[in-house]
Structure 1
Amino acid sequence: MTSFRADAPLRVARPTRNIAAAERFWVEGIGMHIQWRTDNTTSGGHELLMIGLPGAAWHLELVADPHAAIANPPGPEDLLVLYLAGAIPAELVNRAVSCGGTVVEPRNPYWARWGVTLRDPDGYLLVLCTRDWRPDAR
């Protein structure tokens, strides 16, 4: 059996049709921080934007690739869930909507009960969850 460190960094890479619109949603709307960016001169030839929260062991990598984003649309259970451990501030939701997000009804009623689901400009779903979650607290 392979063993991984519990604190091993995690990167979630997603294609985006419009990296500027994605940046606006995730950085201005949600409040993520830009950790790294590059233009399309890197190996692979894509513009990249890495965003996350300071000190977190994870980040999102947004890859400017409009053809991949169209060819592989996200499904209704393709969720990124942020556990906020408290009420979802209305100003956060309003800011996310003003920056290109859309509040949607989730397919699974669990997420409607415990948070707010937003669709980002590329169609990916983000759940802002009122619950707290830790892997050892079941």
Structure 2
Amino acid sequence: MPVNGRSHLRVARPSRDLAVAERFWVRGLGLDVVWRAESGPEPGEHDLLMVGWPDAGWHLELVHEPAVEPRPTEEDLLVIYVDGPVPDDLVTRLEEHGGKRVPSPNPYWNRWGVTIEDPDGYRLVLCERGWSPA
């Protein structure tokens, strides 16, 4: 199978606490748990949590390994195009489940969306615009 626009995308990043991350991404944003694994006795194994929407062409993999700390910057963004106003109740739910609304250093995201920092410090942008590559 060739690599193309239909290839599934996985975004992987470290997490300090998978239970806290799950609360934000699943109970806050509404993603489903796609897969979960606990580390075993083999070297290099780690706890992981994969979350996403069943019909999406992507998912988020969160990995907990005590020796690895998340190191997000203000520009490490996961942007979801809502194609309409960002629901206030969604922002409230994300905040209630461990997120923190923050201003973006990029005025575009402040104008067109809402930026929420997840419990590991990575940023989720809910953009009111629709996505069109043109």
User: Under a length normalisation based on structure 2, what TM-score does the superposition of the two structures give?
Assistant: 0.93
In the other structure, the counterpart of 2:75 is 77
Is the CA contact 1:36–1:49 (under 8 Å) kept in the aligned structure 2?
A: yes
- Which deviates more from structure 2 when the two are superposed, residues 46-55 or residues 61-70? 61-70
Deviations 1:40-62 (A, max 9, x none): 12863211110001211100000
| Distance in 1, Cα, partners of 2:102 & 2:65 | 25
Cα deviation, residue 31, structure 1? 0.6
For these two proteins, the number of residue pairs brought into alignment is 132
Q: Pairwise mapping of residues 35-54 of structure 1 onto structure 2 (< 5 A)?
A: 35-41=34-40, 44-54=44-54
- 1:101 alignment partner, one of 92, 99, 102: 99
More off after superposition, 85-94 vs 40-49? 40-49
Q: Deviations over 1:23-72 (max 9, x none)?
A: 000000011111111111286321111000121110000001243224xx
* Cross-structure match for 2:10: 11
Structure 2 unaligned runs (5+)? none
Maintained 8 Å contact 1:17/1:67: no
Q: How far apart are the structure 2 equivalents of 1:34 and 1:81?
A: 19
> Structure 1, unaligned stretches of length 5 or more?
none
Between the two proteins, what is the percent identity of the paired residues?
52
For 1:131 and 1:42, locate their aligned partners in 2 and report how far apart those are by CA, in whole Å.
Answer: 46
Deviation at 1:134, TM superposition (A): 3.0
**Aligned-CA RMSD value:** 1.4
1:60 paired to 2:57: no
